[in-house]
Amino acid sequence: MISVIVCSADAGRLAKFRLNVEATIGTPYEVLAFDNRNEKKGIAAVYNQLAAKANYEICCFVHEDVIIYTNGWGLLLEKILKDTAIGLVGISGAVYKSRYPGSWSACDQTLYRTHSIQHFKHLEKPLVINTNPAHTSLTEVAVIDGVFMATRKNIFQQFSFDAQLLKGFHGYDIDYSLQVGRQYKLVVSYELLLEHLSEGKLSNDWLKDSLQVHKKWRQRLPVQIGSITKELRKQSDYQSCSCVLGVAIQYPGNKKLASKYFYYLLSYFFSNNKFRYAKSVSRYLFKPGN
């Protein structure tokens, strides 16, 4: 039995999502949805509020802009979460999380573990992604993408979302992964197929939340699952650093941050980066108003 928890910003999408859940979940369930169009509460606060009301053993935190294709996916979650060593189930994640405050996907793609259909603005058709090098039905990861996160209610009672730190709509998935990962395994299921109808945007708000999360977990990061070569770790750290810098120079008020991360690229990742960001960083630093 599953409590499906949604922070809603679009009534039409939520209605379609409810029908999709009804048609595919295959086990007793409830949908707990909060209409956040007017209040615009942080997603961590909404998730905590709804999960506290959940009547069922499994809490599934999911975005409303998805289509789930796997029939009986609720039964699958129940089966996976019967293993008390597993604390969190997703459909996308990575086996490495850098100490640098990039997104979970800011790492070498060989470190992704995902089974999904993802829409991108720059692509005419959605991309079917199945990164499963071990060809297993389930794989352990270091972090899980927030589009779909399922856990047992007793684990949520141990680890709630950090609504005090995160007031917006970003960073909650990395933070929650790192919380739960201290005591339990995080896994990606390759038997559960989901289509995500939009892509996330790395905005200035995302950047601020990511910096907060990585500051909170600086003593624990980096986190990795399994053996990862020094070269892959360095490449992933470089991508995470580049991610931060690339977002910082899109918005005014980030001169200090942009200088810091450009210095990192020159000092620690010169062989990866050379002078790739030199012109754009120079324009940013000397542009009036930044």
**pLDDT tens digits for range 99-143:** 999 999 999 999 999 999 988 888 888 888 899 999 999 999 999
Asked if residues 71 and 134 have their Cβ atoms less than 8 Å apart, the reply is no
227: which residues sit within 8 A by CB, 6+ positions away?
A: none
Alpha-carbon span 106 to 122, nearest angstrom:
18
- What pLDDT shows up at residue 121? 82
Alpha-carbon span 230 to 175, nearest angstrom:
25
As given in the structure block, the two tokens for residue 108 are 């070498």
- What pLDDT shows up at residue 151? 98
Any idea of the CA torsion for 148, 150, 155, 159, to the nearest 10 degrees? 10
Alpha-carbon span 241 to 269, nearest angstrom:
9
With H, G, I as helix, E, B as strand and everything else as coil, classify residue 124. Answer: coil
Alpha-carbon span 248 to 251, nearest angstrom:
6
Alpha-carbon span 112 to 128, nearest angstrom:
14
With H, G, I as helix, E, B as strand and everything else as coil, classify residue 44. Answer: helix
- What pLDDT shows up at residue 57? 96
Give me the chain's average pLDDT, please.
Answer: 95
- What pLDDT shows up at residue 120? 84
Start-to-end CA distance of the chain, whole Å, equals 52
For the entire predicted model, the pTM comes to 0.95
